[in-house]
Amino acid sequence: MALSERETRTQLIDPMLAASGWDESLVEEEYQYRPGRLRLLGEQTVRDEPQFVDYVLRAEPRGAILAALEAKDESHAPGAGLQQALAYAVDVDAPFALASNGHEIVEQDVRTGAVRRLNAFPTPEELLERWQNVAPSRGATVTSRSGETVPNPLLQPAFAFPGARPMRYYQERAVSASIEEMLNGRHRALLSLATGTGKTFIAFNLVHKLLTTGYVKRVLFIADRVSLRDQAYNEFGGLGDRRGVVVNGQVPLQRDVHFAIYQSLYADSAAGGRVYEQYPRDFFDLVVIDECHRSGYGDWGAILDYFSGAFHLGMTATPKQDDSIDTYAFFASENLDADGQPRPVYEYSLGRGIDDGFLATYKVLRVNTTVDDGLVIKDEVEKGAELLVPEGTTPRDVYDMKEFEREIIVPDRTRVLCEHLAGVLRKYGALDKTMVFCVTMEHAELVRSELQRLLGSETGKNLYAARIVSEERDAMPLLEQFQLASSTEPVVVTTVDLLTTGVNAPSVRNIVFMKPVGSVTTFKQIIGRGSRLDELTGKTFFRVIDYTNATRLFDDWDLPSLPSVQGPLAGETSVAGTVRDDETAELIAGASISVRLGGRLLAETSTDDDGAFSVGSLPPAVVDVFITASGYTRRHLRVDTTTGEATQMVVALRRPSQGERRLKISGIEVSIAEEIEVDLGNGHILKPSEYLARAREVILERVQTLEELRSIWQAAKTRGELEEYLALHQVTPELLSLVLARTDVDGFDLLAAVAFGASLVGLGTRATAAVTRIDAEYPTIDGAFITALLDKFRLGGVGEIATSEIFGLSPFVTDWGGVLGVTEMFGGPAAVGGFLRAVQVALFELEIDE
């Protein structure tokens, strides 16, 4: 009988690796390089299975990855896993891909494509030598910036402080790419990684390797804000007292790594000249510029010119755009693509981060008002609006939305938006941390005041909303408090530009645009404030609430990958389903359906009296489907027309959450004109059928039959063990009830329906059916007592009645003396436990048809 894959690895492959000199310090098994994409399922997320490389082989402990090895059981051909290993090797930047069935090895050189079959694994020395022969920069030793012979920093292990998190695969690649640029004699380089991917952590590990090997002696880290400088200083904590901060015109010449904001460096020095001129020109070997897109060469150019002998590393969180051309031209000029255009030495987008599962996915809610198409001043004045015109100013005839609050203050619109936002927060979570980006400081204050008025008393928080628009002394403590996941105040912060970059607040769940944004770079920076995951609060996705059409700036950098379209390359497909009310589940007749592809209208229709629709003659592709009904929020879905789900759609429309729709305070009549929920799709929304199929597989891994499930569920201990196992695989009664749209059934019935096709039986039906059996088994117990207990089951399922703690609640406390009284009534704790077990058995013993 052939060995399983696990047996093949432990009995055959592990000994073969050891025989070739790969000791445990150089071999990393089950290297998790992707934790699994988070997919939206209603208002919750479900994570895909993580991706592991069976083995990565390193040059040094925690050092450079030399090979990715994929194992297959011995019944497979030795090269069966080579394609998979090659994909892993490309992702983790390993020069060699290996596959084995425990008897033979197939190797592919990623650089040359050469494939060879082997009877033994290459030794660490052999792989390292072949890796080093690729380029002079990969030798065992290199010449440092000061001309000394030092160990190659590419081979230096990553930082290993006790409890320190390991570098992710893309972080390792970014560090190696930067070092290679230095070793190859380049003068500058650019790293472009999305917000939340750990650019400062990358910089720290880069500096650690360079300092440890002696390749550089001193480093300057430049930020453009005090908060970003201090965050970086703390991130570099592993360097201890080798760190110093430039402050008050004083430069820490005795330190190795200096942290500064460029404003401090460029300030006048008490000794004459600029502060940065207190350093010798050749003092630094490396200068790192954080958020280098923000300032532009004109701001820090003089400083970099002064330290022209150092290597300049720029770090940005945005791709190349019209407003970042200068940044790319400066930092990436020595790394050109095939078209001669500057490019980063490594790039990792928001979409890729979501694909991999390192970043939070997102939803979009677009909202516009009746005045967003422009204010015609004459018309508004004729309606009775009061127009205040400063002396010397001539009003224009029409003001567009992008000019609101900047050139003309429209407080009525701001109040309507705040009313609407308060409604959204009430619906999804009034205590969810929120950033609101405003036009001016005055605008930010008005928004803060309105939100405090609307939600402060409701939530009982005196500091529900706060304005943070500068790094003044009173603002920074508020920002630090807001950034803490554990803090409860403030909940909402309003700002203008201060929080667009570098502010690490992982628990933020809502990003709100009340300011028009024209810069793609600024837009991506703002979106990045919500992209971090937060384990402490369980945040796995964020919501973008857009009042200014800023989300038109989404592009491929921000979007997860499209789902692959399966099926015929030619032919016709269709989209069909029903439209219903999200709250009442009532079918909606007369809803408008339009289908578009790449902006081109393909078809339009409406739902019939039964809320159903069908659109045929569509191409096999991912299309945009827009669903609109009077009084409901508009939906925008991305649908793969080649899947079965495309003809089984159930679209839930919800009514806008906005409080009063119309306000007329200073004479301008403003109301919400339209709300659009945009499901960007692109594979990060999990279809209910996909989740149910996954759930069935997970349940059947642990439970083989319906009777086995029943037996497990009737005992609290085994039920708890099963629930814990399923929860680890994201199969929970809460998610199943959401997908199946049945909140009135117990977890047993949900699991039974998904895994074994059983009928769903309501909590009330099970409770009623169990009464006869319980009465027969406990004839002396008051019927009212049994009814009260079963009422608790009707409300919350079997978990509510699993322990005697239930008797500490009403009506047991008032009618039967609480836990002590019930214990005395039954004759002891053991008898109470026996009674509760009997009730649980009775509830699930019989098959019941509703």
Q: Check residues 329 and 90 and name the one with the higher pLDDT.
A: 90
What is the three-state SS of 720-767? HHHHHHHHHCCCCHHHHHHHHCCCCECHHHHHHHHHHCCCCCEHHHHH
Is residue 256 a contact partner of residue 211, using CB atoms and an 8 Å limit? yes
Q: What is the mean pLDDT of residues 639-661?
A: 72
Is residue 405 a contact partner of residue 516, using CB atoms and an 8 Å limit? no
Query: Of the ranges 3-7, 30-34, 631-635, 709-713, which one carries the lowest mean pLDDT score?
Result: 631-635
**Which residues lie below 8 Å from residue 430, measured CB to CB, with a gap of 6+?**
455, 458, 459, 491
297 pLDDT higher than 70: no
Ramachandran class of 424: left when φ > 0, alpha when ψ lies in -120 to 50, beta otherwise: alpha
Q: What is the DSSP string of 218-253?
A: -EEEEESSHHHHHHHHHHTGGGGGGEEE-BTTB--T
659 pLDDT higher than 50: no
Which tens digits make up the pLDDT trace of 738-759?
Answer: 888 888 899 999 999 999 999 8
> Which candidate, 110, 114, 61, places its Cα nearest to that of 89?
110
Query: Of the ranges 50-64, 561-575, 766-780, which one carries the lowest mean pLDDT score?
Result: 561-575
The pLDDT of residue 660 is: 36
Query: What is the four-CA torsion angle of 722, 724, 729, 734, rounded to 10 degrees?
Result: 90
Is residue 253 a contact partner of residue 246, using CB atoms and an 8 Å limit? no
279 pLDDT higher than 60: yes
H/E element, 468: none
Beta-strand runs (E) in 409-491: 434-437, 465-467
The secondary structure of residue 551, as a DSSP letter, is G
Q: What is the mean pLDDT of residues 335-340?
A: 83
H/E element, 273: none
At 16, which amino acid appears?
A: M
Q: Check residues 243 and 483 and name the one with the higher pLDDT.
A: 243
The secondary structure of residue 454, as a DSSP letter, is I
Angle at 441 between CA 438 and CA 443, to 5 degrees: 50
User: 574 is written with which tokens?
Assistant: 């269709």
Buried b (16+ CB within 10 A) or exposed e, 573-585: bebebbbbbeeee
Where residue 269 falls among pLDDT bands split at 50, 70, 90?
A: confident
680 pLDDT higher than 60: yes
Is residue 793 a contact partner of residue 769, using CB atoms and an 8 Å limit? no
Is residue 150 a contact partner of residue 164, using CB atoms and an 8 Å limit? no
> Which candidate, 599, 593, 563, 564, places its Cα nearest to that of 577?
593
CA–CA separation, 147 and 170 (whole Å): 30
User: 759 is written with which tokens?
Assistant: 């009928």
The pLDDT of residue 169 is: 93
The secondary structure of residue 59, as a DSSP letter, is S
The pLDDT of residue 470 is: 74
Buried b (16+ CB within 10 A) or exposed e, 402-423: bbbbeebbbbbbbbbbbbbbbb
663 pLDDT higher than 60: no
Omega prior to 490 cis, within 30 of 0: yes
The pLDDT of residue 751 is: 95
Which tens digits make up the pLDDT trace of 466-480?
Answer: 998 876 667 778 888
**Which residues lie below 8 Å from residue 577, measured CB to CB, with a gap of 6+?**
612, 613, 647, 648, 649, 650, 651
326 pLDDT higher than 80: no
Is residue 660 a contact partner of residue 419, using CB atoms and an 8 Å limit? yes
CA–CA separation, 289 and 315 (whole Å): 6
Which tens digits make up the pLDDT trace of 307-323?
Answer: 999 999 999 888 766 55
Q: What is the DSSP string of 560-606?
A: PPPPP--S-SSS-EEEEEEEEETTT--B-TT-EEEEEETTEEEEEEE
Helix (H, G, I), strand (E, B) or coil at 170: helix
- Residue 238 CA neighbour count, 13 Å, CB half: 20
CA–CA separation, 442 and 449 (whole Å): 11
- Residue 827 CA neighbour count, 13 Å, CB half: 5
Identify the sign of the CA torsion 347, 350, 356, 358.
positive
Q: What is the DSSP string of 637-673?
A: EEEETTSGGGGSEEEEE-----SSSEE-SSS--EEEE
Is residue 47 a contact partner of residue 38, using CB atoms and an 8 Å limit? yes
5 pLDDT higher than 80: yes
Q: Percent of the chain at pLDDT above 90? A: 44
Angle at 665 between CA 664 and CA 668, to 5 degrees: 60
568 pLDDT higher than 50: no
850 pLDDT higher than 60: no
Q: What is the mean pLDDT of residues 635-641?
A: 81
The secondary structure of residue 781, as a DSSP letter, is S
CA–CA separation, 443 and 513 (whole Å): 12
Q: How many residues does the chain have?
A: 850
CA–CA separation, 787 and 153 (whole Å): 73
The pLDDT of residue 661 is: 37
Query: Of the ranges 119-133, 309-323, 427-441, which one carries the lowest mean pLDDT score?
Result: 309-323
What average pLDDT does the chain have? 87
Residue 271 phi, psi dihedral angles, 5° rounding: -85, 5
Is residue 685 a contact partner of residue 438, using CB atoms and an 8 Å limit? no
The secondary structure of residue 115, as a DSSP letter, is E
298 pLDDT higher than 60: no
Looking at the DSSP assignment, which residues form a beta bridge with residue 98? 69, 107
673 pLDDT higher than 70: yes
Which tens digits make up the pLDDT trace of 522-538?
Answer: 888 899 899 999 988 99
The pLDDT of residue 193 is: 93
Where residue 521 falls among pLDDT bands split at 50, 70, 90?
A: confident
Where residue 225 falls among pLDDT bands split at 50, 70, 90?
A: confident
**Which residues lie below 8 Å from residue 111, measured CB to CB, with a gap of 6+?**
95, 134
- Residue 74 CA neighbour count, 13 Å, CB half: 14
* CA 445 vs CA 350, 458, 566: distances in Å: 31, 20, 51
> Which candidate, 714, 790, 792, 710, places its Cα nearest to that of 751?
710
Q: What is the mean pLDDT of residues 67-86?
A: 91
CA–CA separation, 803 and 62 (whole Å): 49
